[in-house]
Amino acid sequence: MSYLDDKTPIPGTILFDGQKSRMGYGLNKMCYSFNDESARNEFKADEDAYCTKYKLSDEQKKAVKDRDLIAMLELGGSIYYMAKFAGILKLNMQDIGALQTGLTLDEFKQKLVDAGK
Amino acid sequence: MSYLDDKTPIPGTILFDGQKSRMGYGLNKMCYSFNDESARNEFKADEDAYCTKYKLSDEQKKAVKDRDLIAMLELGGSIYYMAKFAGILKLNMQDIGALQTGLTLDEFKQKLVDAGK
Amino acid sequence: MAKIIGAVGSSHIPAIGLAIAKKQQQEPYWKGFFDGHIPIWNWLKEKKPDIAVVFYNDHGLEFFLDKKPTFSIGAAEEYISYDEGWGLATIPPIKGDPELSWHICNTLVEDEFDITICQELGVDHGLTVPMQLMFPGDPNYGGIKVIPVIINCELHPMPSPKRCYKLGQSIARAIQSYDQDLDVVIFGTGGLSHQLDGQNAGYINKEFDLMCLDKLVNDPEYLFKFSVRDIIENAGAQGIEFNMWMGMRGALPGKVEQLHFNYTIPISNTAAGTMLLSHE
Amino acid sequence: MAKIIGAVGSSHIPAIGLAIAKKQQQEPYWKGFFDGHIPIWNWLKEKKPDIAVVFYNDHGLEFFLDKKPTFSIGAAEEYISYDEGWGLATIPPIKGDPELSWHICNTLVEDEFDITICQELGVDHGLTVPMQLMFPGDPNYGGIKVIPVIINCELHPMPSPKRCYKLGQSIARAIQSYDQDLDVVIFGTGGLSHQLDGQNAGYINKEFDLMCLDKLVNDPEYLFKFSVRDIIENAGAQGIEFNMWMGMRGALPGKVEQLHFNYTIPISNTAAGTMLLSHE
Ligand SMILES: [Fe+3]
Ligand SMILES: [Fe+3]
């Protein structure tokens, strides 16, 4: 009995498990490539062609195009690889946090500060 | 207490352990590259340059040049990678066996047959 | 629920693949070895298992010393056979069952096995030769899907025979808790006694092999007393591939019956064992 | 014989590396966090350990999903810091002690840990940020050599907190049986409660963190009751990086004394803990 056999959703949380990793394999492989500067430049020069090279699905391509991080997660993105995608967009982890939670950056920062009280 | 803490030599046998793997890293990496046909061709075209590319020591280069399999083992070669080197030389496992044991191929084959009696 | 219907022990040496490519199965050197598989071929045709869990070792095709895992589990859609550098023909891709792979991985980590999960995996003769051997002439391998289980037999430190057996036990628990109606066969490949490298190349130990195989069927825990070094001292440097047979046997729960056995010396530089086990 | 002289818990988040690069240590946001390291800096300068065993996780720099190990141990001469893709500066190479690494690997496999041995290993902020943090401004990191211990915190299934603690225990046994006169410090990095992804991004749980850190010092086995899922439910998706602290604590044998403790919310999106432990 694995802890993963408990299928009760954890609110606001997507566990990156085998099912997600299968679904997001190409998407994550693309984002993994962004460790290399040349890959980042190639992506920036023609995003769509680069997504095709990594065999992203149409839904995944749309999520990338829309910078829809929640959709990327749902389609199998792993946050550690997606962070490299965010880097290309010049977004840091707090920017990403705000985007995913629908808060402004200041609201998101305040949420973090409040957690320390 | 690991089984590797027993340092008693096993006659005719070199355990491929951490010490050997450190020593033979470049040599084995070179032989690992021979999985690719282009690497095999590059090696065949200029053996010495290829050995230099993988930072083999002078002793390792000499062992490669002399096709001295025992010396290669002693200098950190792993048999599974060396098998790919042997393939370039058109030697199979029985040829290698004969070379290492100082037997003729027929004698080596007879040794194997005798083991079944 | 998925069901383990039996297990096959076999050799995976490249010379077998070369003999198949050259259609030498009925030549005197090979006849005894290949004919020793007839009962297994018949059994596989009759039972038509859906899945084969294949214990094998990589010989420097997909893994290098930069990152060398102790145990790896394949979780890919398919496994590709690549050029190994010395002339063995590649074979058609082998289908995987990633859903079952992940179920096994989840169970193994829960059971404290620290596996490496492989969503891309090229496979060498360790897996391709048994596939060719068990499904002769069939590019579809009887429609079977495989779960590759790879045990480090190259770089010391290596896992003990006992640890490999326990790995098999955990895999069996995973299969038996898998909520799909699948028949599973376990393949153990490699060995038996042999040594490829050094002045002791060509070493074979018939007596030790036959003892190990007898105990494997009837009293596998007896074999726990052997360390990796013990196996190598008795069965040669590559005799440690017996660890794959230990994994296979660990995956057979309950009472075991040996349906077929064959043992040939030499096949290339090895003692080659062939075994068919069923269990209640 | 080698001796474990203490342990340090710390954060490894990239924002710390960026703050160091921008020399922001005395700015209001950062002052409390960096000043919270003064007792650790002093202790390291006084004790001058020879070796640091660093528990960290790779965040998609050196490992990809094609082959994802549960536990990996570095056994290289040096570890290179590479571009991670989003602007963190690389740092000078970090020296390894391959001989001690192999001794640890031998022990771990004997103790039934199924590690991946890494003779080449690029390192990301998981290791580079703690090195910068512990040896400020010193490109030679106080002359220390590291043994990287990498725990999968990215792909489920992940090892339990209990398994990580046991990994630390086995590493401690290895060090204490190593026949060289070396002083060893253990670094646990990462965490504490935080979540980077999903609608729950920005989640932090102070109460749970403080309970975990208290138990970690005084009653670590209490924490065995938490599954990976339990940790994530309580500490957020990336709160599972607490597993590195479990490994670190497992490596501290005997009676433990907490010499220093600091806890800051927020550092970037995390609760950051800083801890110095010695033991008898
Ligand atoms: Fe083999
Ligand atoms: Fe982290």
* DSSP labels, C32-77: HHHHTTHHHHHHHHHH--SEEEEEE---SSS--TTSEESEEEE--S
Query: Does residue A9 form part of some domain?
Result: no
In this predicted structure, the answer to whether residue C254 has a pLDDT above a threshold of 90 is no
Closest listed residue to residue D151, CA positions, set D250, D50, D256: D250
Q: What is the D159 CA–ligand 1 centroid distance (Å)?
A: 30
pLDDT of A1 reads 84
C236-251 pLDDT, tens digit per residue, is: 999 999 999 999 999 9
What single-letter amino acid sits at A30? M
Chain C partners within 8 Å of B3 (Cβ) = 157, 160, 227-230
Sign for the CA dihedral angle at D71, D75, D78, D83 comes to negative
Query: Dihedral, CA atoms, A81, A86, A89, A94, nearest 10 degrees?
Result: -170
Give yes or no for D71 touching C (CB within 8 A). yes
Q: How far is CA C262 from CA C185, C273, D30, D210, in A?
A: 19, 6, 71, 63
pLDDT of C245 reads 98
Q: Which ligand is nearest to the CA of D267?
A: 2
Q: Does the annotation count C125 as an active-site position?
A: yes
Structure tokens at B25: 């890293």
**Candidate list C37, C59, C125, C156, residue with the active-site label:** C125
Q: Which ligand is nearest to the CA of C129?
A: 1
Nearest to B4 among D101, D106, D119 (CB): D106
The span from the CA of B95 to the CA of B83, in Å, is 11
Report chain C's mean pLDDT, rounded to a whole number.
97
C186-237 pLDDT, tens digit per residue, is: 999 998 999 999 999 999 999 999 999 999 999 999 999 999 999 999 999 9
Nearest to B79 among C65, C197, C233 (CB): C197
Residue contact A15–D86, C-beta within 8 A: no
Residue contact C109–A22, C-beta within 8 A: no
pLDDT of C101 reads 98
In this predicted structure, the answer to whether residue D41 has a pLDDT above a threshold of 90 is yes
Looking at the structure of chain A, the number of domains it has is 1
pLDDT of B117 reads 87
Q: What is the D197 CA–ligand 2 centroid distance (Å)?
A: 13
- Cis omega (within 30 of 0) for bond into D266: yes
Cβ–Cβ < 8 Å for C75, C125:
no
- Cis omega (within 30 of 0) for bond into A56: no
Nearest to C120 among D66, D157, D160 (CB): D66
CATH of the domain at B107: 1.10.700.10
Fold designation for D3-279: Protocatechuate 4,5-dioxygenase; Chain B (3.40.830)
Chain A partners within 8 Å of C105 (Cβ) = 18
Chain C partners within 8 Å of B94 (Cβ) = 268-269
Write out the residue range of the structural domain in which residue B72 sits: 18-115
In this predicted structure, the answer to whether residue D280 has a pLDDT above a threshold of 80 is no
Residue contact D106–B21, C-beta within 8 A: no
Q: What is the D126 CA–ligand 2 centroid distance (Å)?
A: 6
Query: Dihedral, CA atoms, D3, D9, D13, D15, nearest 10 degrees?
Result: -100
The span from the CA of D70 to the CA of D53, in Å, is 17
In this predicted structure, the answer to whether residue C280 has a pLDDT above a threshold of 80 is no
Q: Give the list of residues 6+ apart from residue A114 with CB closer than 8 angstroms, or none.
A: none
The span from the CA of B79 to the CA of C179, in Å, is 42
Residue contact C75–A25, C-beta within 8 A: no
Closest listed residue to residue C66, CA positions, set B28, D154, D147: B28
C7-59 pLDDT, tens digit per residue, is: 999 999 999 999 999 999 999 999 999 999 999 999 999 999 999 999 999 99
Q: Is C249 helix (H, G, I), strand (E, B) or coil?
A: helix
Query: Does residue B9 form part of some domain?
Result: no
Cβ–Cβ < 8 Å for C147, C73:
yes
Q: What is the C60 CA–ligand 1 centroid distance (Å)?
A: 10
What are all long-range contacts of B101-109, with beta carbons under 8 Å and residues at least 24 apart?
B101/C199, B101/C200, B101/C201, B101/C202, B102/C199, B103/C202, B108/C201, B108/C202, B109/C266
Give yes or no for D155 touching A (CB within 8 A). yes
The span from the CA of C201 to the CA of B107, in Å, is 13
CA angle D267, D124, A95 (to 5 degrees): 40
- State the DSSP code for D180: S
The span from the CA of A91 to the CA of D189, in Å, is 24
Q: Is B103 helix (H, G, I), strand (E, B) or coil?
A: coil
**Tokens 């490596």 identify what position?**
D251
In the structure, what pLDDT confidence band is assigned to residue D244 with cuts at 50, 70 and 90? very high
Chain D partners within 8 Å of C67 (Cβ) = 63, 67, 69, 72, 116-118, 120-121
Q: Is D7 helix (H, G, I), strand (E, B) or coil?
A: strand
Report chain A's mean pLDDT, rounded to a whole number.
96
B43-102 pLDDT, tens digit per residue, is: 999 999 999 999 999 999 999 999 999 999 999 999 999 999 999 999 999 999 999 999
A7-18 pLDDT, tens digit per residue, is: 999 999 999 999
In this predicted structure, the answer to whether residue D279 has a pLDDT above a threshold of 90 is no
Per DSSP, helices labelled H in D71-124 are 98-110
Mean pLDDT throughout C79-102? Answer: 96
Nearest to D119 among B4, B5, B21 (CB): B21
Q: Please return the burial class of D144, using the count of CB atoms within 10 Å of its CB with bins 0-12, 13-18 and 19+.
A: buried
What single-letter amino acid sits at B41? N
Cβ–Cβ < 8 Å for C6, C279:
yes
Report the predicted TM-score, pTM, of the whole model to 2 decimal places.
0.98
Q: Is B17 helix (H, G, I), strand (E, B) or coil?
A: coil
The span from the CA of C180 to the CA of D98, in Å, is 46
Structure tokens at C143: 């429609």
